Amino acid sequence: MIVNLEETKEYLRVDFEDDDNLILSLIKQAEILCQDILRLETKEALHDYEEKLKVPILFTTAYLYENRESADYKELNLNLRNLLYAVRESKF
């Protein structure tokens, strides 16, 4: 994982353990979304961009955590594409 549970909980300002499994699941989902937007073949390829991916993964995890019931995935994808624009591979 690019970000760990502790730093994600700090970013979310969560100081209890009840949602740990949920947060771990959301971190994994955020990594998958980043991988898809970056058009990377493997999850291991994410580590090539580790420093540039911390904020987008934390942002995505926070968005999914805070909007569990009413997430706007179109808005999330647009924001995530903007955050990842500098490292996104161009393919036609």
Q: Is the pLDDT of residue 45 over 80?
A: yes
pLDDT above 70 (res 71)? yes
Q: Which residues contact residue 76 at a Cβ distance below 8 angstroms, ignoring those fewer than 6 apart?
A: 33, 60, 63, 64
**Nearest Cα to 61, choosing from 43, 47, 79, 49?**
79
Q: What percent of the chain has pLDDT over 90?
A: 68
pLDDT of res. 43: 86
pLDDT level of residue 92 (50, 70, 90 thresholds):
very low
With 90 as the cut, is the pLDDT of residue 46 above it? no
Which pLDDT does position 89 carry in this prediction? 64
Q: Specify whether the backbone of 40 is left (phi greater than 0), alpha (psi in -120 to 50) or beta.
A: beta
17 close to 5: Cβ distance less than 8 angstroms: no
